[in-house]
Structure 1
Amino acid sequence: MITYNEVNHIEDVINTVNFTNEIIIVDAFSTDGTPEKLSKFKNVKVIQRAFKNFADQRNFALKQASHNWILFIDADERIPNPLKNEILNEVSSNNGTAAFLVKRLYFFKKKRIRFSGFQTDTTYRLFKKGTVSYIEDKIVHEMPKIDGKSKLLKNTMLHYCFDSAEHYKSKMEHYAKLKALELHSKGKKPNVYNLHIRPIIKFLTNYIFRLGILDGKEGFQICYLSAYGVRFRYQELKKLTR
């Protein structure tokens, strides 16, 4: 697990992975009490390391694992018993699969979000050691490079991704700044379409076509802030290209 300021989640997420042989947390010098809370867990190995970007931090974390299988989890994710049992079964009876994807059920302010663009979300979370590395130039929304076959697990993970609209906004801005750096490093430049049209398309796609309207006021907030994140990304890119 990689963490930064996750004091509200850290106990629950550790309890959800206590079926593993080792728990390793790479913390980016949290300032909210996360390290102090972690010190109470004797079965958790904590490594303090400065954050460069998500791909770099995850690749470092991968190298710390000492067992044959690696379960990556974010602090705001939870593994229900059906998924835990499926993971243990797959690991013990594996027939050559290198990596497993898992579907996530999203919660916003404790409310289940069924649409708003999240209904098809899957992410890699279980790997055989030595078969995966994160692509270094994908510094946000990091993407693993898998050496071998992949499989989608049947059971779902819970994702308590945003505690409030302000929390979501701050995450969108953080991701947008990293994405702007990634685009800038590739020589990309902002234009009228990216700054003004792309955010509108993002909102309409998630709110209308991906049925965010059915998620109520939370759906509107999510879709609006997702579009805001796109605009913020290209505003940051514009600053970098000056």
Structure 2
Amino acid sequence: MKSNENQKLSVLIITLNEEERIKALLENLDFADEIIVIDSYSTDKTVEIVKSFKTVKLIQNKFVNYTSQRNFALDQAENSWVLFIDADEQLSVALKKEIVATINDKDAGSAYFIYRTFMFKNSKLHFSGWQTDKIFRLFDKSKCRYNEERMVHEKLIVDGPISILKNKLIHFSYTSFQDYKSKMYNYGVLKAHEKRKKGQKPQLLLMIFHPLYTFLYQFIIRLGFLDGPKGITICYLNAYSIFIRYKELKRITFSRI
């Protein structure tokens, strides 16, 4: 049962070389009671920028995978209610108000999905599989924990009711082709190690057909073609990540023989 006192919110941010985006995000978090940045030893000006915000707590922790880094961040938060936010995301005024109202609702659930608007540079991507993108961002950490078996595309284990917020996060994920390709490459590598840990072996047919299926599904079924050249780019890079997954799985499997 909720107390009559206002619930406090801890905002958690994981960073690595985010000098171009971290300042705007921290300025956007004026409604938070606590802000913690978990930095993976950035080599750019990220740390310097974060330290310029006197109310922000900076902790540096070696990055192993996304799940372990997020669970580490959870352990640092003083408050039960946490909001995970990435450096390439922004909150509207309406979303901030909704978050505050939600955590202070006596009937609040345990965790909340938040839909995201995918920004391709400075314009909205309407389709290409991103039109229904939602992710756990707001939750009561006393009732939630990230599944340690996942290394990327983390899975939150929730004890209690789950709901969805009405307002969306603005997701500035795509700034350049090379930047997004690098991100997709890293996701693919982590996913390969996750598969290997579960005992999966590389299969040539999956390496060929899974990326092809991903591209066609997102481009045709998920209406990526309606996004024009932007849709082609995003669908290709998402398929590229799948290809890297199997390529890396093959490499680490046979390197241990």
TM range (shorter): over 0.9
Is 1:23 the counterpart of 2:35? The answer is: yes
Identity among equivalent positions (%) equals: 44
Residues 109 and 161 of structure 2 are in contact (CA less than 8 Å); yes or no, is this contact kept in structure 1?
yes
Distance, in Å, in 1 between the alignment partners of 2:234 and 2:124 is 12
Which residue in 2 is equivalent to 1:112?
124
TM-score with structure 1 length normalisation?
A: 0.98
Is 1:48 matched up with 2:60? yes
The range that moved more, 67-76 or 39-48, is: 67-76
Secondary structure, counterpart of 1:97 in structure 2: coil
The alignment status of 1:148 with 2:160, answered yes or no, reads: yes
SS at match of 2:166: strand
Question: Would you say 1:221 and 2:233 are equivalent positions?
Answer: yes
- Alignment of 1:11 with 2:23, yes or no, is yes
The residue correspondences of 1:87-236 to structure 2 (distance < 5 A) are 87-236=99-248
* Structure 1 gaps, min length 5: none
How many angstroms does 1:192 deviate by? 2.2
Amino acid at match of 1:45: K
Structure 2 counterpart of 1:195, which letter? M
Task: Provide the C-alpha distance between the structure 2 equivalents of 1:218 and 1:30, rounded to a whole number of angstroms.
Answer: 30
Superposed CA offset, 1:80-137 (max 9, x none): 0111111111111231411111000000111210101101111001111311110011
Structure 2 counterpart of 1:76, from 72, 88, 104: 88
Check conservation: 2:201, 2:250, Cα contact below 8 A: yes
Matched letter for residue 159 of structure 1: H
CA distance, structure 1, for counterparts of residue 215 and residue 166 of structure 2: 30
Alpha-carbon distance between aligned partners in 2 of 1:85 and 1:30, rounded to the nearest angstrom: 32
What SS is found at the alignment partner of 2:241?
helix
- Cα RMSD (Å) of the superposition? 0.9
Q: In the comparison of the two structures, how many residue pairs are matched?
A: 242
Deviation, structure 1 residue 220: 0.5
Partners of 1:79 and 1:171 in 2: CA distance: 22
Kept in 1: contact 2:19–2:49 (CA 8 A)? yes
